[in-house]
Structure 1
Amino acid sequence: MLNVKIKILSVDNSNDFRTIRLSALKKSPEMFGSTYIAEVEKSLNFFKNCLSSSIVFGAYHENRIIGLATLTQESGIKFSHKATLSSVFIEPEFQQKGVAGNLLSAVIDYSKKYVEQILLTVADDNKPSIHLYKKFGFEVYGIEIQAMKDNGQYIDEVLMKRFVS
């Protein structure tokens, strides 16, 4: 098991967040709604704003950020019992070493204090991620057909949910 520290990123960690976010967009473009080209020229303030509007978990190994997971709580009074998990990414050389599990555990533990449900979407062909989410108690509740369109190709997404309270 890799020695990894999980922490919630603050605006003081904006450079780390920018680094891991751009790496994710470059190395796994099919997993995200944005693109590397759309974000690489953004100012540091853009990334600071992202950190102030969601809870962003960073995974660190030897003081280097190697993983990311974002939790965004719904804002409406009738929806604030839910949060959406997104932007889960682990640097390729650190995959299959328990880092994603550490991130998910931290997200779930944090969520127990603030929400009742965590929702997520994952590309239907991303079998390793679907398997991992199921292992952590997420259940499929639907499929969104043609959820994303990338270079003329459609990607269906699996809708998953976990009750935490």
Structure 2
Amino acid sequence: MDTIPRVPIVDTGPLFDFLWLRYCEDCHCRDLLSGLRYLTSSDSREAIRWYFGIAKPILTCPQVIAEVHNHAMKRLGNDKLQEFWKIAHKELIELELDEDLVRLLEMDSEILCSFGPTDTALISMAVRRQMSHPVLTMDGKVAGHCKRKEIKVLSLGEIIHLRQQFGSKS
């Protein structure tokens, strides 16, 4: 890539992993880092921190936030969920999060039946924005659909590469 893609539309996987990482760091719960699904190496962790720091604002949909909540609740239970959301809220403010509501009844029914409401909302957001914002996803099915529809897709591997290419220049 010649430039750093800005204002990404962020899927649940990368957003949850980032917020989980920040929770583990702030609460000094290094043992919980094994719960990371995508940010499994120090390179990937540093790359996502770097990228989110310069790509803001980030965009997502309320469905992604609900999925983040469900993932956190499954891992923490109700006891520590409040602390997770204190940290997550602070991080999302820092990332200048903007949410875009895509109403279920306005979704393309064919895409909805294939991908479900969360991924359909993300795809719809990209189309609404004239496909000018990359969709940051680790979901191969979503990435494949986006590429076929000429929607920009950003993967963690590409973010690592961007950091290597532009890290000191950004």
TM-score normalized by the length of structure 1: 0.32
| Higher percent of residues as strand | 1
Higher helix share: 2
Structure scoring higher RCO (CA < 8 A, sep ≥ 6) equals 2
Taking structure 2 as the reference length, the TM-score comes to 0.31
